[in-house]
Structure 1
Amino acid sequence: MKEIPASQAYHLLEPGPIVLVTTSHKGTPNVMTMGFHMMIQHAPPLIGCVVGPWDYSQRALKETGECVIAIPTIDLAEIVVDIGNCSGDSVDKFQRFGLKTRPAKEVKAPLLANCLANIECRVANSSLVDTYNLFILEAKRIWIDEARTERRMLHHRGDGSFMVDGALLDLSDRMTKWRQLP
């Protein structure tokens, strides 16, 4: 085996699909690309998300305590990367990238109609933000576009390359310990 630097762990343990995070601060919506997130628990559904001070959205998330996590599919790959390469402090990303929005039910941040799914979230714990830029979010509502035919998601490898979801391997019949979960 060949040793690689420990700093490259994210190449092997990517946290899940690339997502878009919308916020609304003082009536102005914004969207950012996020790659560092993880499920923390089932109930209540908690999601850990890294949104650092380098992200224009961090201030909005800190001050409003709410956001939407939108899950794009591979047909939006180039837009997802381009959103991550500009800042909402100088660009209206919704206009620039032709993003269609819908109002959310529980939060002021908009849903992204271009995406497969949207998760309305509220900050459940921000005690790790100053140290690790880690927000703990609680999912409040989930919206999915069941008519959408493209469902393959992007997984960032940390170096500008992405993996794309492939075939589904269904082993649910073997997951006997977890059947009681909703």
Structure 2
Amino acid sequence: MKKYEKKSFPLTQVRQLLEPGPIVLVSSRWKGEDNIMVMGWHMMLGFSPALFGCYIWEGNHSFEMIRRSRQCVINLPTADMVDSVVAVGNSSGAERINKFETFGLTPERARTVDVPLIAECYANFECKLADDRQIDEYGLFIWEIVKAHVATSPKRPETLHYRGNAEFMVSGGHISRRRKFKPENL
């Protein structure tokens, strides 16, 4: 194994290396208004039930919509959607634009929540708020994923991972070590 020479690194830039997962588009609806926001700060918290945690800044237009409706859809875009992701991220729902129409995204009806899915995304996860105790202090929403819609192909999509400074990393190849894992750790 290779050893790396290291140097001191600015703490404000650590996120470039520790972003927790792929960029997602969060769709929301409150009182007939739909919105989409870009999010990179999220994590899985449990398997059964499937719990998902995410940070939403209180200054984001979607914050109150999502907080009040207590539901959202987490949509997983692929690398070919990078320009749409950036465009959505550069806009604000406070501008009262229809982001679906403006950015060429197709809303689809969800099965268990009253929030639109984004048809162009590889996967859509319908979420209901499971725990709101950390929203006020930390902006941390804890969701239960109540319905998942995942494309049948490709098996491993190329997803976007934000590195800061307007740079994305694209998920690439994979390494399997299935034979080396204990069955209970799969």
TM interval, shorter chain, is over 0.9
SS at match of 1:127: coil
Larger radius of gyration: 2
How many residues end up aligned between the 2 structures?
179
Alpha carbons of structure 1 residues 96 and 55: separation in structure 2 relative to 1, 3 Å: same
The alignment-based identity, stated in percent, is 39
Per-residue deviation, 1:82 = 1.0
Q: In 2, Cα distance between the equivalents of 1:175 and 1:147?
A: 26
Q: Which residue of the partner structure matches residue 23 of structure 1?
A: 28
Q: CA RMSD in A?
A: 1.5
Correspondence 1:66 to 2:84: no
Query: How far, CA to CA, are the matches of 1:48 and 1:149 in structure 2?
Result: 25
1:82-161 → structure 2 map (5 Å cutoff): 82-90=87-95, 91-147=97-153, 151-161=157-167
Q: CA deviation at 1:137?
A: 0.8
For structure 2, which runs of at least 5 residues remain unmatched after alignment?
A: 1-5
SS class of match (2:57):
coil
| Correspondence for 1:178 | 185
Partners in 2 of 1:29 and 1:150 — Cα distance?
30
Q: Match of 1:57?
A: 62
- Flag as ranges the 4+ runs of structure 1 deviating above 2 A: 147-150, 172-175
Partner SS state of residue 80, structure 2: helix
Per-residue CA distance 1:84-111 (angstroms, 9 max, x = gap): 1111121211110011111001101111
How many angstroms apart in 2 are the aligned matches of 1:94 and 1:148? Answer: 24
SS in 2 for 1:89: helix
Where in structure 1 are there 5+ consecutive unaligned residues? none
Deviation digits for residues 20-51 of structure 1, max 9, x if unmatched? 00001101111111011011111211111111
Q: Distance in 2 between matches of 1:174 and 1:9?
A: 32
